[in-house]
């Protein structure tokens, strides 16, 4: 057993951890952390891993996670847990092509869950959910898990649908699950081994790529009801998300839904100021209109997870931006 922050979890070869989406941003960082800690990690992805992630997992299956091959593979290896990071994850494209999101995120995950409950019922299912399940929350309040969920995109709806399925499967089939509602995942591996792919969509990646390439950056919205007029969001380091996955392997974290965030909001102008200070570069900034559906503020209340996991977060916003810059500028 390996103990991290007082939580003991199985790390024996006889109980592998499967990470779906292990070639991606969050799945890749999760696989890296688990390997660093001595876990036996198997990966599944319909994309081949980028060069820097090759060899990270002990076994890799180049398949869609819901393919017959992948489902048979899972039934054969009987993993102690599946960390389900695979899925389609952008709000804007989900509005233009909702069928892809409902199919990839809902229909396929249902097939995976039915395999678990019938073929590997001891497996704990750790689900990558999203703050997008909340939609536009009450003004000025950090989101708590009991808040009403009113997603405003097919992406958010697809995540909420799986949460609802998980709760029903827990009651009906005793399926064991932890759903983690990430707020804004950012940063990169602290040792610059892994990070986001080019052309990321959230503000930190866009700002850093603009600074690196000396390109114009458009700030969407300067008339939000906030102190500096730009919207406020909550950020969490991708390595801290990976650590939350690891902690959720333990039954000290009961089945349920949990927010992952910092409990602190940061405005877009503050992000730009920090990025300029860390990179020692000046952003070529232009102001643009706000995007439809953008709330003034969206922040997490992570007290429920924190009460069980203790002092589990390691990285500040400065760390997030510095690590991301080290990755982008390598």
Q: Is 152 left (phi over 0), alpha (psi -120 to 50) or beta?
A: alpha
Q: Are the C-beta atoms of residues 247 and 293 closer than 8 Å to each other?
A: no
Q: Are the C-beta atoms of residues 311 and 4 closer than 8 Å to each other?
A: no
Q: Are the C-beta atoms of residues 157 and 91 closer than 8 Å to each other?
A: no
| Cα 31 to the center of its chain, rounded Å | 13
Q: Are the C-beta atoms of residues 42 and 61 closer than 8 Å to each other?
A: yes
Instruction: State residue 303 phi and psi, 5-degree precision.
Output: -60, -35
Q: Are the C-beta atoms of residues 317 and 325 closer than 8 Å to each other?
A: no
Tell me the DSSP string of 129-167. Answer: EEGGGSBSPSTT--B-TTS--B-SSHHHHHHHHHHHHHH
Angle between helical axes of 154-173 and 108-119 (0-180°, round to 10): 20
- For the CA atoms of 144, 145, 148, 149, the dihedral, rounded to the nearest 10 degrees, stands at 120
Q: How far is CA 22 from CA 17, 89, 272, in A?
A: 11, 15, 30
Q: Which residues contact 234 (CB under 8 A, 6 or more apart)?
A: 131, 142, 183, 184, 261, 262, 263, 264, 265, 266, 298, 299, 300
3-state helix, strand, coil in the chain (%, to 5): 40, 20, 40
Is 155 among the residues known to form the active site? yes
Q: Which of 25, 101, 134, 155 is catalytic?
A: 155
Q: Are the C-beta atoms of residues 60 and 42 closer than 8 Å to each other?
A: yes
Catalytic residues: 155
């Amino acid at each position: 057993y390996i103990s991290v922050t007082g939580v003991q979890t199985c790390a024996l070869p006889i109980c592998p951890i499967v990470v779906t989406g292990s070639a991606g941003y969050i799945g890749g960082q999760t696989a890296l952390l688990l390997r660093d800690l001595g876990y036996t990690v198997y990966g599944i992805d319909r994309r081949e891993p980028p060069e820097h992630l090759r060899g990270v997992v002990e076994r890799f299956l180049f398949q869609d996670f819901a393919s017959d091959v992948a489902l048979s593979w899972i039934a054969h290896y009987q993993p102690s847990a599946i960390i389900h990071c695979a899925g389609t994850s952008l709000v804007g494209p989900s509005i233009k092509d909702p069928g892809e999101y409902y199919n990839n995120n809902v229909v396929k995950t249902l097939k995976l869950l039915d395999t678990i409950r019938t073929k590997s019922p001891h497996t704990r299912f750790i689900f990558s959910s999203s703050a997008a399940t909340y939609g536009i929350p009450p003004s000025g309040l950090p989101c708590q898990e009991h808040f009403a969920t009113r997603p405003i995109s097919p992406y958010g709806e697809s995540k909420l649908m799986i949460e609802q399925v998980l709760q029903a499967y827990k009651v009906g089939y005793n399926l064991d699950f932890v759903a983690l509602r990430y707020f804004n995942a950012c940063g990169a591996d602290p040792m610059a081994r892994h990070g986001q792919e080019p052309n990321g969509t959230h503000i930190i990646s866009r700002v850093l790529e603009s600074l690196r390439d000396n390109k114009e950056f458009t700030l969407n919205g300067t008339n939000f009801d906030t102190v500096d007029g730009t919207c406020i969001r909550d950020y969490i380091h991708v390595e801290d998300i990976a650590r939350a996955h690891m902690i959720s392997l333990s039954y000290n974290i009961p089945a349920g839904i949990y927010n992952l965030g910092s409990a602190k909001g940061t405005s877009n102008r503050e992000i730009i100021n920090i990025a300029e200070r860390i990179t020692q570069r000046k952003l070529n900034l232009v102001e643009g209109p706000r995007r439809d559906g953008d709330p003034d503020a969206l922040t997490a209340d992570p007290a429920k997870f924190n009460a069980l996991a203790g002092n589990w977060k390691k990285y500040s916003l400065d760390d997030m931006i510095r690590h991301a810059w080290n990755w982008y500028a390598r």
